[in-house]
Amino acid sequence: MEDGNVELPLQKSAGPRHDSSYGTFAGEFYDLRYLSEEGYPFPTAPPVDPFARIKVDDCGRTKGCFRYGKPGCDADTCDYFLSYRIIGADVEFELSADTDGWVAVGFSSDKKMGGDDVMACVHDDNGRVRIQHFYNVGQWAKEIQRNPARDEEGLYENNRVTCRFKRPVNVPRDETIVDLHLSWYYLFAWGPAIQGSITRHDMDSPPTSERVVSIYKYEDIFMPSAAYQTFSSPFCLLLIVALTFYLLMGTP
């Protein structure tokens, strides 16, 4: 006791002693692993799921498929590939084609281009694949701002454009968009793009479905491309038989 004042001993803190200096403050953060030895971490974007490859084993069973190209081709080797399946109130489409531009499917009341609802997957100059909605006015495809696509995915790899998207089965009535619960002819097309804009497709007469397609019926339909139709036509088969007969008869 001094001058009537009592001097009490300082009590030790139960926790670590904090210092007001920046060095001690930073050191505590290092100890607590808030900071790495390299400094403050930069925020990172969440990982992007890779594009799931299109499975053809499910064709005709849990989804409908159209394949155009070489016999036995799949989604990675066909000139053109399309699949569809119902998921809840939506239809999921998968498209793929041997092109660096665009691949599309059209829904039509006939097998001719004109007055058709078209969904296209377009490879742009930035390497992205975007899903766009078009309406065929005669031979010209007009882009429609009302786009029913959702859950969009796209990939450009090995000179192929591949995409996956959903669109509702039922939509409000509109001239440019059809109800998919009704049956339509499917028009298949693909071609080049310039600066992300589609240009004329590669074929004068793109393939179409032979009959109207119901999204409720899953089939696996193969359509040989022109290169594999040559020797399957009746005329060519008759010609082969005639030449074989001629060669056999001419053999001594």
Query: pLDDT tens across 59-78, in order?
Result: 999 999 999 999 999 999 99
88 lies in some domain: yes
Burial of 69 from C-beta contacts in 10 A (0-12 / 13-18 / 19+): buried
The radius of gyration of the chain's CA atoms, rounded to the nearest angstrom, is 32
> Residue 86 belongs to a domain with what CATH number?
2.60.40
- The answer to whether residue 163 sits within a structural domain is yes
**How high is the pLDDT of residue 11?**
52
Average pLDDT, the chain: 81
Taking 60 as the threshold, does the pLDDT of residue 168 lie above it? yes
167 or 173, which is more confident? Answer: 167
Residue 248 pLDDT class (50, 70, 90 cuts): low
To the nearest 10°, the Cα dihedral for 165, 171, 173, 175?
A: 0
Establish if 198 belongs to a structural domain: yes
Q: Are 241 and 234 in contact (CB under 8 A)?
A: no
Q: What is the number of domains present in the chain?
A: 1
pLDDT digit string, tens, across residues 16-27 = 454 455 455 444
Q: Cα 123 to the chain's mean position, in Å?
A: 11
Q: What are phi and psi of 79, to 5 degrees?
A: -60, -40
**Of 138, 142, 51, 31, the residue nearest 95 (C-alpha):** 51
Among 28-37, 76-85, 229-238, the minimum mean pLDDT is found in: 28-37
Domain contains 55: no
Q: Which domain holds residue 116?
A: 64-231
Burial of residue 228 (CB within 10 Å: 0-12, 13-18, 19+) is middle
Please check whether residue 20 lies inside any domain of the structure. no
Residue type at 5 in one-letter notation: N
Beta bridge partners of 121: 103, 131
84 within a domain of the structure (yes/no):
yes
Q: CB 221: neighbour CB atoms within 10 A?
A: 17
Higher pLDDT, residue 12 or 182? 182
Tokens at 144, concatenated: 């429609």
42 in any annotated domain: no
Residue 8 falls within a domain, yes or no?
A: no
